[in-house]
Amino acid sequence: MFIDEVRILVKAGDGGNGCLAFRREKYVPRGGPSGGDGGHGGDVILVADEHENTLLKFRFNPEHKAERGRHGEGSNRTGADGASLDVDVPVGTVVYDEATGDRLYDFTESGQRFTVARGGRGGKGNARFATATHQAPTEHQPGRPGQEKRLRMELKLLADVGLVGFPNAGKSTLISRISAARPKIADYPFTTLEPHLGVVQVPDFRSFVVADIPGLIEGAHLGHGLGIQFLRHIERTRLLAHLVDVSESSGRDPVEDFETVLRELASFSDDLAAKPMIVVATKMDVAQDPERIASLRKMADERGLAYFEISSATGQGIDALKHAMSERVLAPLPVAAE
């Protein structure tokens, strides 16, 4: 199961209480104050882990609490600090404060750490209040409470190229052709129910990541079909590949399909709709009507968009498409000095 949004509670440890104590020694007023300080509470720290790929575990474990600090003790013994709690999250997780809506942190690299809730400070024992004129203090402090927050976490997959288009436009077949990803492929709408990532290898030992998300239909921003809930996973991409089925089997006009999906992208985010885009005519092996292909090619030319024709079944145009994608998302190789 793929879970990409959760709500959790984090609670840092409370600080330990300061101690009220007196030692018994001759010539020391009332034995002398000897109460130690309380220990500090543990922090809750979020850590980006490349081995995590879903937020599913938080669905079943929504509360995360660090250890509280130990209380101070007599003989000026300070209480032990509470252990901090590391919580692993997938790379690509964005953390929000649910109460305010503020974005707290965006994990983009493995190993990044963010202290989301700080532990409470330990209270002072009565020994800390002794002065020359106040030699037998009874004052002592309670520990401070640790921070408690309710968080909303979103997972946005990290990919270089995002595949968009109507259901059954050939996105899953394409990603299975150009990478080792093996999403479910079938001849019915919404075969893809969750995003998939595929790593595409290109010459010179370079690679880039492609994201396949469930198809969009008209009204997706209103919740029709699978809605636009998965579009967050292509917000970070550098290029969108807009796949359009030009075969007669779809029963729809290719240009209208393109414009419909573009409107749905804009309804989600203007920035997403404005991303660099290429147009990919799919299922060329079964396309029988040249006018459908010509109309899509003309529309792409008018919009100044690069246009490609492919067939994932036969391999037609696949290499050219991979080369075009890599040119747009990978930095050029450095030129060797002569």
Domain boundary among 137, 155, 173: 155
Q: Are 198 and 175 in contact (CB under 8 A)?
A: yes
What predicted TM-score, i.e. pTM, was given to this entire model? Answer: 0.76
Instruction: Report pLDDT for 227.
Output: 56
Instruction: Report pLDDT for 330.
Output: 85
Question: In this structure, is the dihedral angle defined by the CA atoms of residues 165, 171, 172 and 173, taken in order, positive or negative?
Answer: positive
Query: Is 20 in the same domain as 165?
Result: no
Amino acid at 34: S
Q: Look at 45-54, 109-118, 300-309 and tell me which has the smallest mean pLDDT.
A: 45-54
Query: Is 188 in the same domain as 256?
Result: yes
Q: Are 312 and 284 in contact (CB under 8 A)?
A: no
Query: Is 37 in the same domain as 86?
Result: yes
Query: Is 81 in the same domain as 117?
Result: yes
What share of the chain in percent tops pLDDT 70? Answer: 88
Query: Is 121 in the same domain as 256?
Result: no
Residue 319: CATH number of its domain: 3.40.50.300
Place of tokens 């660090």: 66
Query: Is 19 in the same domain as 97?
Result: yes
Instruction: Report pLDDT for 32.
Output: 83
Query: Is 81 in the same domain as 104?
Result: yes
Query: Is 103 in the same domain as 208?
Result: no
pLDDT in tens, 75-127: 899 999 999 999 999 999 999 999 999 999 999 999 999 999 999 999 999 99
In 3-state terms, what secondary structure has residue 2? coil
Number of domains in the chain: 2
Instruction: Report pLDDT for 335.
Output: 52
pLDDT in tens, 250-275: 778 999 999 999 998 888 888 888 89
Helices (H), 230-289: 254-268, 270-273
- The torsion of the CA quartet 158, 59, 217, 269, rounded to 10 degrees, works out to -50
Q: Report whether pLDDT(2) > 60.
A: no
Average pLDDT, the chain: 87
Instruction: Report pLDDT for 235.
Output: 86
Query: Is 141 in the same domain as 11?
Result: yes
In a domain, 170, yes or no: yes
Residue 146: CATH number of its domain: 2.70.210.12
In a domain, 309, yes or no: yes
Domain boundary among 155, 184, 217: 155
Instruction: Report pLDDT for 298.
Output: 95
pLDDT in tens, 171-211: 888 998 988 766 555 554 445 557 788 889 888 778 899 98
Average pLDDT over residues 146-150: 97
Distance CA 226, CA 261 (A): 13
In a domain, 19, yes or no: yes
Task: Look up the domain containing 82 and give its range.
Answer: 5-155
Query: Is 167 in the same domain as 190?
Result: yes
State which H helix or E strand residue 165 sits in. Answer: strand 161-165
In a domain, 334, yes or no: no
Query: Is 149 in the same domain as 170?
Result: no
Q: Band the pLDDT of 16: cuts 50, 70, 90.
A: very high
